[in-house]
Structure 1
Amino acid sequence: MAAKRKGCLGNIGPSSGRMRGSNISPPVHFFKVILRSTIDDQKLKLPKKFGREFGNDLSAVATITVPNGRTWQLGLQKTEEGRVLFADCWQEFVEYLSIDSGYFLIFGYKGFSKFNVC
Protein backbone atom coordinates (compact mmCIF):
# COMPACT_ATOMS: atom_id res chain seq x y z
CA MET A 1 0.00 0.00 0.00
CA ALA A 2 1.34 3.43 -0.89
CA ALA A 3 2.25 5.77 1.93
CA LYS A 4 -0.17 8.61 2.49
CA ARG A 5 1.12 12.04 1.55
CA LYS A 6 0.19 15.17 3.41
CA GLY A 7 -1.25 18.06 1.48
CA CYS A 8 -3.13 16.15 -1.21
CA LEU A 9 -6.59 17.11 -0.06
CA GLY A 10 -6.92 20.84 -0.08
CA ASN A 11 -9.52 23.04 1.49
CA ILE A 12 -9.08 26.04 -0.72
CA GLY A 13 -12.73 26.55 -1.57
CA PRO A 14 -14.25 27.34 -4.95
CA SER A 15 -12.20 29.37 -7.39
CA SER A 16 -13.43 32.25 -9.48
CA GLY A 17 -13.87 30.17 -12.61
CA ARG A 18 -12.26 32.80 -14.82
CA MET A 19 -10.24 31.56 -17.75
CA ARG A 20 -6.67 32.65 -18.28
CA GLY A 21 -6.79 35.28 -20.97
CA SER A 22 -9.93 36.69 -22.47
CA ASN A 23 -9.57 34.86 -25.78
CA ILE A 24 -10.28 31.36 -24.41
CA SER A 25 -13.88 30.65 -25.23
CA PRO A 26 -15.68 28.33 -24.76
CA PRO A 27 -14.11 26.75 -21.66
CA VAL A 28 -11.71 23.88 -22.32
CA HIS A 29 -13.03 20.41 -21.51
CA PHE A 30 -11.60 16.97 -22.12
CA PHE A 31 -12.49 13.46 -21.04
CA LYS A 32 -10.45 10.47 -19.98
CA VAL A 33 -11.50 6.84 -19.82
CA ILE A 34 -9.66 5.29 -16.90
CA LEU A 35 -7.71 2.20 -17.93
CA ARG A 36 -6.19 -0.46 -15.69
CA SER A 37 -2.75 0.94 -16.63
CA THR A 38 -3.81 4.36 -15.30
CA ILE A 39 -4.58 2.78 -11.93
CA ASP A 40 -1.39 0.67 -11.94
CA ASP A 41 0.90 3.54 -13.07
CA GLN A 42 -0.63 5.90 -10.47
CA LYS A 43 -0.58 8.70 -13.06
CA LEU A 44 -3.08 10.11 -15.54
CA LYS A 45 -1.89 11.30 -18.94
CA LEU A 46 -3.76 14.39 -20.09
CA PRO A 47 -4.56 14.66 -23.82
CA LYS A 48 -1.63 15.54 -26.09
CA LYS A 49 -3.48 18.55 -27.49
CA PHE A 50 -4.02 19.93 -23.98
CA GLY A 51 -0.30 19.58 -23.24
CA ARG A 52 0.64 21.37 -26.47
CA GLU A 53 -1.78 24.24 -25.86
CA PHE A 54 -1.40 24.76 -22.10
CA GLY A 55 1.67 22.82 -20.93
CA ASN A 56 3.97 25.84 -20.74
CA ASP A 57 1.42 27.80 -18.69
CA LEU A 58 0.86 25.13 -16.03
CA SER A 59 2.47 25.23 -12.60
CA ALA A 60 3.92 22.17 -10.86
CA VAL A 61 0.68 21.66 -8.91
CA ALA A 62 -2.90 21.50 -10.18
CA THR A 63 -5.97 22.23 -8.08
CA ILE A 64 -8.81 19.81 -8.84
CA THR A 65 -12.33 20.51 -7.58
CA VAL A 66 -14.61 17.48 -7.34
CA PRO A 67 -18.44 17.58 -7.47
CA ASN A 68 -18.84 17.80 -3.68
CA GLY A 69 -16.72 20.97 -3.62
CA ARG A 70 -13.59 19.44 -2.08
CA THR A 71 -10.31 20.40 -3.66
CA TRP A 72 -7.23 18.32 -4.29
CA GLN A 73 -3.66 19.36 -4.99
CA LEU A 74 -2.17 17.04 -7.62
CA GLY A 75 1.39 17.22 -8.85
CA LEU A 76 1.81 17.90 -12.56
CA GLN A 77 4.60 16.25 -14.50
CA LYS A 78 5.68 17.43 -17.94
CA THR A 79 7.52 15.08 -20.28
CA GLU A 80 10.12 15.93 -22.91
CA GLU A 81 7.52 15.00 -25.53
CA GLY A 82 5.19 17.72 -24.23
CA ARG A 83 2.81 15.41 -22.37
CA VAL A 84 1.29 16.53 -19.08
CA LEU A 85 0.38 14.05 -16.34
CA PHE A 86 -1.39 14.20 -13.01
CA ALA A 87 1.13 12.41 -10.80
CA ASP A 88 1.77 13.19 -7.12
CA CYS A 89 -1.34 12.45 -5.04
CA TRP A 90 -3.15 10.92 -8.06
CA GLN A 91 -3.44 7.58 -6.25
CA GLU A 92 -4.99 9.19 -3.16
CA PHE A 93 -7.41 11.08 -5.44
CA VAL A 94 -8.40 7.81 -7.15
CA GLU A 95 -8.95 6.08 -3.81
CA TYR A 96 -10.96 8.98 -2.35
CA LEU A 97 -13.36 8.98 -5.30
CA SER A 98 -13.35 5.16 -5.66
CA ILE A 99 -12.28 5.55 -9.31
CA ASP A 100 -11.70 2.27 -11.11
CA SER A 101 -10.94 0.92 -14.55
CA GLY A 102 -13.64 1.86 -17.06
CA TYR A 103 -14.67 5.10 -15.35
CA PHE A 104 -15.31 8.09 -17.62
CA LEU A 105 -14.07 11.41 -16.18
CA ILE A 106 -14.77 14.83 -17.65
CA PHE A 107 -12.30 17.59 -16.81
CA GLY A 108 -12.91 21.30 -17.23
CA TYR A 109 -9.86 23.55 -17.34
CA LYS A 110 -10.49 26.92 -15.71
CA GLY A 111 -7.03 28.40 -16.23
CA PHE A 112 -4.23 28.99 -13.74
CA SER A 113 -3.73 25.19 -13.27
CA LYS A 114 -7.29 24.80 -11.90
CA PHE A 115 -9.60 22.01 -13.03
CA ASN A 116 -13.08 20.70 -12.28
CA VAL A 117 -13.84 17.00 -12.64
CA CYS A 118 -17.08 15.05 -12.80
Structure 2
Amino acid sequence: MSNTPQPNPSFVKVLVAHDFTQRLRIPPYFPRKHRLNLPENITLRISSGKTWNVKLEKMQNNDHWFTNGWSKFAEDVKLGHGEFMVFYLIGQSIFDVTIYGQTCCTREIPDDRLIKVEDDDADHVRLSQINLNANDAIDKEPPKTSNDGASTSGGRALGTQNSPLYFEIVLKPHHKARVSLRKEFAVAAGLTGQESAGLEYLPTKRYQSVVLDQRSAYRLDMSIGWNNFRKTNGMVYGRRYSLVQSGKNVIKSRR
Protein backbone atom coordinates (compact mmCIF):
# COMPACT_ATOMS: atom_id res chain seq x y z
CA MET A 1 0.00 0.00 0.00
CA SER A 2 1.40 3.41 -0.97
CA ASN A 3 2.17 5.96 1.75
CA THR A 4 2.07 8.86 -0.71
CA PRO A 5 -0.16 11.61 0.77
CA GLN A 6 -3.39 12.15 -1.13
CA PRO A 7 -3.91 15.67 -2.50
CA ASN A 8 -6.94 17.67 -1.49
CA PRO A 9 -9.92 17.33 -3.87
CA SER A 10 -9.81 20.17 -6.38
CA PHE A 11 -11.43 21.53 -9.51
CA VAL A 12 -10.75 24.25 -12.09
CA LYS A 13 -13.12 26.91 -13.42
CA VAL A 14 -12.49 29.10 -16.48
CA LEU A 15 -14.33 32.43 -16.27
CA VAL A 16 -16.16 32.66 -19.58
CA ALA A 17 -19.86 32.74 -18.62
CA HIS A 18 -21.50 36.16 -18.87
CA ASP A 19 -22.66 36.09 -15.23
CA PHE A 20 -19.54 34.69 -13.50
CA THR A 21 -19.43 37.70 -11.16
CA GLN A 22 -22.96 36.96 -9.87
CA ARG A 23 -22.81 33.19 -9.39
CA LEU A 24 -20.59 30.24 -10.32
CA ARG A 25 -21.43 26.63 -11.07
CA ILE A 26 -19.03 23.98 -9.81
CA PRO A 27 -18.32 21.01 -12.11
CA PRO A 28 -21.09 18.41 -11.59
CA TYR A 29 -18.56 15.57 -11.65
CA PHE A 30 -16.59 17.02 -8.71
CA PRO A 31 -18.87 15.95 -5.82
CA ARG A 32 -19.68 12.64 -7.52
CA LYS A 33 -16.04 11.74 -8.10
CA HIS A 34 -15.07 12.37 -4.47
CA ARG A 35 -18.40 11.21 -3.00
CA LEU A 36 -18.92 14.54 -1.29
CA ASN A 37 -21.97 15.78 0.54
CA LEU A 38 -21.13 19.45 0.33
CA PRO A 39 -22.66 21.76 2.96
CA GLU A 40 -24.76 24.80 2.17
CA ASN A 41 -22.40 27.27 3.85
CA ILE A 42 -18.90 27.44 2.35
CA THR A 43 -15.81 29.49 3.17
CA LEU A 44 -13.60 30.74 0.33
CA ARG A 45 -10.01 31.63 1.27
CA ILE A 46 -7.19 33.22 -0.74
CA SER A 47 -3.45 33.02 -0.10
CA SER A 48 -3.35 36.13 2.11
CA GLY A 49 -5.68 34.41 4.59
CA LYS A 50 -8.71 36.61 3.77
CA THR A 51 -11.98 34.64 3.80
CA TRP A 52 -15.51 35.07 2.45
CA ASN A 53 -18.69 33.21 3.46
CA VAL A 54 -20.60 31.99 0.42
CA LYS A 55 -23.74 29.92 0.00
CA LEU A 56 -23.42 26.73 -2.08
CA GLU A 57 -26.91 26.19 -3.46
CA LYS A 58 -28.03 22.78 -4.74
CA MET A 59 -30.51 23.04 -7.61
CA GLN A 60 -33.20 20.56 -8.62
CA ASN A 61 -30.94 19.00 -11.25
CA ASN A 62 -28.31 18.39 -8.51
CA ASP A 63 -26.04 21.11 -9.87
CA HIS A 64 -24.21 23.15 -7.22
CA TRP A 65 -23.79 26.91 -7.55
CA PHE A 66 -21.98 29.52 -5.47
CA THR A 67 -24.70 32.15 -4.96
CA ASN A 68 -25.15 34.46 -1.94
CA GLY A 69 -21.81 36.03 -1.10
CA TRP A 70 -20.18 35.07 -4.40
CA SER A 71 -20.67 38.51 -6.01
CA LYS A 72 -18.93 40.13 -3.03
CA PHE A 73 -15.98 37.74 -3.40
CA ALA A 74 -15.82 38.36 -7.16
CA GLU A 75 -15.82 42.12 -6.61
CA ASP A 76 -13.18 42.09 -3.86
CA VAL A 77 -10.68 39.96 -5.81
CA LYS A 78 -11.49 41.68 -9.13
CA LEU A 79 -12.28 38.59 -11.18
CA GLY A 80 -11.81 39.13 -14.90
CA HIS A 81 -13.10 37.44 -18.04
CA GLY A 82 -10.72 34.76 -19.34
CA GLU A 83 -9.07 34.16 -15.99
CA PHE A 84 -9.28 30.77 -14.35
CA MET A 85 -9.44 29.57 -10.78
CA VAL A 86 -8.41 26.44 -8.89
CA PHE A 87 -10.44 25.43 -5.84
CA TYR A 88 -8.92 23.08 -3.22
CA LEU A 89 -11.34 21.57 -0.69
CA ILE A 90 -9.90 21.73 2.84
CA GLY A 91 -11.87 19.69 5.35
CA GLN A 92 -15.60 19.75 4.63
CA SER A 93 -16.44 23.40 4.01
CA ILE A 94 -13.34 25.47 3.14
CA PHE A 95 -12.13 26.06 -0.40
CA ASP A 96 -8.66 27.53 -0.84
CA VAL A 97 -8.78 29.53 -4.07
CA THR A 98 -5.90 30.30 -6.44
CA ILE A 99 -6.54 32.79 -9.25
CA TYR A 100 -4.65 32.65 -12.55
CA GLY A 101 -4.63 35.61 -14.92
CA GLN A 102 -4.82 35.53 -18.70
CA THR A 103 -1.04 35.00 -18.69
CA CYS A 104 -1.72 31.56 -17.13
CA CYS A 105 0.37 32.61 -14.11
CA THR A 106 -0.96 33.09 -10.59
CA ARG A 107 -2.32 36.57 -10.03
CA GLU A 108 -1.60 38.22 -6.71
CA ILE A 109 -4.19 40.72 -5.57
CA PRO A 110 -2.63 44.18 -5.08
CA ASP A 111 -2.71 45.49 -1.51
CA ASP A 112 -5.09 48.31 -2.38
CA ARG A 113 -7.65 45.80 -3.62
CA LEU A 114 -7.69 43.78 -0.43
CA ILE A 115 -10.08 44.37 2.39
CA LYS A 116 -7.69 45.15 5.21
CA VAL A 117 -7.09 42.28 7.61
CA GLU A 118 -5.76 43.24 11.02
CA ASP A 119 -2.47 41.54 11.81
CA ASP A 120 -3.80 40.40 15.18
CA ASP A 121 -6.43 38.17 13.58
CA ALA A 122 -6.18 34.50 14.56
CA ASP A 123 -5.60 31.80 11.99
CA HIS A 124 -8.85 31.22 10.12
CA VAL A 125 -8.86 27.43 10.01
CA ARG A 126 -8.43 24.63 12.51
CA LEU A 127 -7.96 21.06 11.27
CA SER A 128 -9.97 18.86 13.61
CA GLN A 129 -7.97 15.71 12.87
CA ILE A 130 -4.78 17.31 14.25
CA ASN A 131 -4.59 17.75 18.01
CA LEU A 132 -2.30 20.80 17.97
CA ASN A 133 -2.68 24.07 19.84
CA ALA A 134 -0.27 26.18 17.83
CA ASN A 135 -0.55 29.28 20.02
CA ASP A 136 0.69 27.35 23.08
CA ALA A 137 3.76 26.01 21.28
CA ILE A 138 5.99 29.10 21.60
CA ASP A 139 9.22 28.77 23.59
CA LYS A 140 9.13 25.00 24.00
CA GLU A 141 12.61 23.54 23.86
CA PRO A 142 13.59 22.59 20.28
CA PRO A 143 15.44 19.38 19.50
CA LYS A 144 19.19 19.58 20.13
CA THR A 145 21.46 20.39 17.20
CA SER A 146 25.12 21.14 16.64
CA ASN A 147 26.70 24.41 17.75
CA ASP A 148 26.46 26.04 14.33
CA GLY A 149 22.68 25.64 14.24
CA ALA A 150 22.62 22.83 11.67
CA SER A 151 22.18 19.14 12.34
CA THR A 152 24.54 16.57 10.96
CA SER A 153 23.98 13.29 9.17
CA GLY A 154 26.83 10.88 8.54
CA GLY A 155 29.33 13.63 9.28
CA ARG A 156 27.87 15.94 6.58
CA ALA A 157 26.52 19.33 7.65
CA LEU A 158 23.02 20.07 6.39
CA GLY A 159 21.50 23.39 5.43
CA THR A 160 24.19 25.03 3.28
CA GLN A 161 23.20 27.19 0.31
CA ASN A 162 24.20 24.43 -2.11
CA SER A 163 22.01 21.89 -0.34
CA PRO A 164 18.37 21.02 -1.15
CA LEU A 165 17.82 21.41 2.61
CA TYR A 166 18.15 25.19 2.28
CA PHE A 167 16.08 27.83 0.48
CA GLU A 168 15.22 31.52 0.73
CA ILE A 169 11.99 33.49 0.53
CA VAL A 170 11.23 37.18 0.33
CA LEU A 171 8.36 37.66 2.78
CA LYS A 172 5.29 39.21 1.12
CA PRO A 173 1.78 40.10 2.33
CA HIS A 174 0.31 36.93 0.82
CA HIS A 175 2.58 34.97 3.20
CA LYS A 176 0.55 36.28 6.15
CA ALA A 177 -1.26 33.01 6.92
CA ARG A 178 0.88 30.38 5.17
CA VAL A 179 4.11 29.74 3.30
CA SER A 180 4.71 27.09 0.66
CA LEU A 181 7.82 24.97 1.07
CA ARG A 182 9.93 24.38 -2.01
CA LYS A 183 9.20 20.86 -3.27
CA GLU A 184 12.81 19.65 -3.28
CA PHE A 185 13.28 21.03 0.23
CA ALA A 186 10.17 19.26 1.55
CA VAL A 187 11.20 15.95 -0.06
CA ALA A 188 14.84 16.12 1.07
CA ALA A 189 13.81 17.06 4.61
CA GLY A 190 11.32 14.17 4.81
CA LEU A 191 8.38 16.50 5.48
CA THR A 192 5.96 15.11 2.89
CA GLY A 193 3.32 13.04 4.64
CA GLN A 194 4.03 14.70 8.00
CA GLU A 195 1.26 16.53 9.87
CA SER A 196 3.45 19.10 11.61
CA ALA A 197 6.97 20.45 11.94
CA GLY A 198 8.95 22.65 14.31
CA LEU A 199 10.18 26.14 13.46
CA GLU A 200 12.96 27.96 15.28
CA TYR A 201 13.86 31.59 14.57
CA LEU A 202 17.59 31.79 15.19
CA PRO A 203 17.86 35.50 16.13
CA THR A 204 15.38 35.06 19.01
CA LYS A 205 15.73 31.29 19.65
CA ARG A 206 11.92 31.02 19.74
CA TYR A 207 10.45 27.65 18.83
CA GLN A 208 6.98 27.09 17.32
CA SER A 209 5.02 24.09 16.06
CA VAL A 210 3.27 24.55 12.71
CA VAL A 211 0.78 22.42 10.82
CA LEU A 212 1.86 21.09 7.41
CA ASP A 213 -0.95 21.30 4.85
CA GLN A 214 -0.51 19.04 1.79
CA ARG A 215 -2.32 21.12 -0.83
CA SER A 216 -1.45 18.84 -3.73
CA ALA A 217 1.19 16.33 -4.80
CA TYR A 218 3.43 19.30 -5.61
CA ARG A 219 2.66 21.75 -2.80
CA LEU A 220 3.22 21.59 0.95
CA ASP A 221 2.36 24.63 3.09
CA MET A 222 3.21 25.69 6.62
CA SER A 223 -0.20 26.85 7.85
CA ILE A 224 -1.56 26.92 11.41
CA GLY A 225 1.11 28.36 13.67
CA TRP A 226 2.99 30.20 10.91
CA ASN A 227 1.07 33.48 11.45
CA ASN A 228 1.86 33.41 15.16
CA PHE A 229 5.53 32.56 14.47
CA ARG A 230 5.84 35.43 11.98
CA LYS A 231 4.28 38.01 14.31
CA THR A 232 6.06 36.86 17.48
CA ASN A 233 9.48 37.13 15.82
CA GLY A 234 8.80 40.48 14.15
CA MET A 235 9.38 39.19 10.63
CA VAL A 236 9.07 42.01 8.09
CA TYR A 237 7.48 42.03 4.63
CA GLY A 238 10.03 42.70 1.88
CA ARG A 239 12.90 41.14 3.82
CA ARG A 240 14.68 37.95 2.70
CA TYR A 241 14.68 34.95 5.06
CA SER A 242 16.42 31.60 4.76
CA LEU A 243 14.91 28.28 5.84
CA VAL A 244 17.24 25.46 6.86
CA GLN A 245 16.37 21.86 7.74
CA SER A 246 17.85 20.97 11.14
CA GLY A 247 17.04 17.64 12.73
CA LYS A 248 13.92 15.54 12.32
CA ASN A 249 10.91 17.69 11.34
CA VAL A 250 12.68 20.89 12.47
CA ILE A 251 13.21 23.98 10.29
CA LYS A 252 15.42 26.88 11.38
CA SER A 253 14.79 30.37 9.99
CA ARG A 254 17.15 33.31 9.87
CA ARG A 255 17.56 36.65 8.08
Which category describes the TM-score, using the shorter chain as reference length?
0.7 to 0.9
1:1-118 pair list within 5 angstroms: 1-2=121-122, 6-13=135-142, 15-17=144-146, 18-19=151-152, 22=154, 26-27=158-159, 28-39=165-176, 42-55=177-190, 59-66=194-201, 67-118=203-254
Moved beyond 4 Å, runs of 4+: 23-26, 55-58
Q: Which has the higher contact order (CA 8 A, sep 6+)?
A: 1
Work out whether residues 74 and 86 of structure 1, in 8 Å CA contact, stay in contact via their aligned partners in 2: yes
More displaced stretch, 10-19 vs 76-85: 10-19
Work out whether residues 62 and 76 of structure 1, in 8 Å CA contact, stay in contact via their aligned partners in 2: yes
CA distance in 2, matches of 1:14, 1:56: 16
1:31 counterpart SS class: strand
CA distance in 2, matches of 1:104, 1:8: 25
Given residue 91 of structure 1, which amino acid in structure 2 is its aligned partner? N
Computing the radius of gyration from Cα coordinates, the structure with the larger value is 2
Given residue 31 of structure 1, which amino acid in structure 2 is its aligned partner? E
More displaced stretch, 89-98 vs 4-13: 4-13
CA distance in 1, matches of 2:219, 2:191: 11
Identity %: 15
Number of corresponding residues: 115
TM-score (norm 2): 0.39
TM-score (norm 1): 0.77
CA distance in 2, matches of 1:60, 1:9: 18
Alignment RMSD, CA only?
A: 2.6
When you count helix as a share of all residues, which structure comes out higher? 1
Q: 1:33 to 1:112 in 2, by over 3 A?
A: same
CA distance in 1, matches of 2:155, 2:220: 22
Is there any run of 5+ residues in structure 2 with no aligned partner, and where? 1-120, 124-132, 160-164
